[in-house]
Amino acid sequence: MRMLCLLFSLLTLIACGEAPAQGELPESLPTEREPFRWINTEGATIATRFSAPESFVRRGLEENTFGHYLRFQPLKPDGTEVHLFSGAPKANQTAHAAVLDLDVGQRDLQQCADAIMRLRAEYLFAEKRYNDIHFNFVSGFKAEYSRWRAGERISVKGNRVSWTASRGATPGYTAFRKYLTMVFSYAGTASLVHELKPKPVADILIGDVFIRGGSPGHAVIVVDRVVQPETGEVRVLLAQSYMPAQDIHVLRNPSAQDGSPWYTVADFGEGVLTPEWRFRPDELRTFQ
């Protein structure tokens, strides 16, 4: 049991790494949340809350795609604070532009990579693509939801992980969430980075992920995309959870002088600066 607890603690650190000290945040990040002139405060989803920048358009997506699922994620009311799994408000309330209406759970598990796995798994579950729901533990063990759904369970004894028989099929949503809890406990950026495929920043799409595996590590996901039809310029919205586990939230762009949440992809050649992390342009990955 002691070894298991130590392993769990290590995996928790691997998930997102320790939060950087306040002095390490980008200097351009304002100390107070500024109003967003392009926000429709009545909008209840990412697509309806955030207006496309002037002369930019959203390209249509098939309703059964991951991109459509993310673009129309429900949001909590404008001005909602980001809360930790404990219910306490996050110390830094200047990094987000909106909060997704998706629970974070009551344990310190749904951190950065876990939030991305949650969104991906929820999408596949909604589409009844159960066989496509699988994630690897940091140890390399493949946790397949199809086996969990069929009634098997995962046994962790020290460094040994295996499937064991259970009481029969468990196809419901409650059992699905228990499966995700198990995944969040033993997977993180160090494992997810190897499951995703590298891709060029120029080809960025909704659902792609900027990720750095390890400790510290972090990950953010693209949740919307707009294009300027004449020039082809692309801008995106990014979302994250962080450490400790907290509400998934759409990020502001700390490089935008007006506090805009839209990130200009053409600027990613020098790196991707988010309010609480900086990624290299070669750290873009995709589930496809």
Q: How far apart are CA 101 and CA 74, in angstroms?
A: 5
- Dihedral sign of CA atoms 52, 65, 187, 204 in order: negative
Distances (CA, A) of 89 to 64, 67, 93, 254: 34, 29, 8, 21
Whether the per-residue pLDDT at 108 is higher than 90: the answer is yes
CB 152 within 8 Å of CB 171: no
What are the E-state strand segments in 103-230? Answer: 134-136, 142-144, 153-157, 160-164, 197-198, 209-212, 218-227
Report pTM. 0.90
Is it true that the peptide bond before 77 is cis, omega within 30 degrees of 0?
no
Q: Express each pLDDT in 243-270 by its tens digit.
A: 999 999 999 999 998 778 999 999 999 9
Whether the per-residue pLDDT at 117 is higher than 90: the answer is yes
What integer pLDDT is reported at residue 30 of this predicted model? 46
The b/e string for 108-121 (b: 16+ C-beta within 10 A; e otherwise) is: bbbbbbbbbbbbbb
Q: Express each pLDDT in 137-194 by its tens digit.
A: 999 999 999 999 999 999 999 889 999 999 899 999 999 999 999 999 999 999 999 9
- Dihedral sign of CA atoms 19, 140, 187, 70 in order: positive
CA 25 to chain centre: 20
DSSP secondary structure, 91-112, as one string:
S--SSEEEEBS----SSTT--H
To 5 degrees, how large is the angle CA 99–CA 204–CA 193? 75
- Phi then psi for 153, rounded to 5 degrees? -135, 160
Pairing of strands 160-164, 153-157: antiparallel
Residue 10's contacts (CB-CB under 8 Å, 6 or more residues apart) are none
Whether the per-residue pLDDT at 124 is higher than 70: the answer is yes
Q: Express each pLDDT in 17-47 by its tens digit.
A: 554 433 344 444 444 544 446 789 999 999 9
- Across 97-109, average pLDDT: 97
What integer pLDDT is reported at residue 27 of this predicted model? 44
Q: How far apart are CA 28 and CA 258, in angstroms?
A: 11
- Across 82-86, average pLDDT: 98
Whether the per-residue pLDDT at 63 is higher than 70: the answer is yes
Distances (CA, A) of 60 to 7, 68, 120, 155, 236: 44, 8, 20, 44, 15
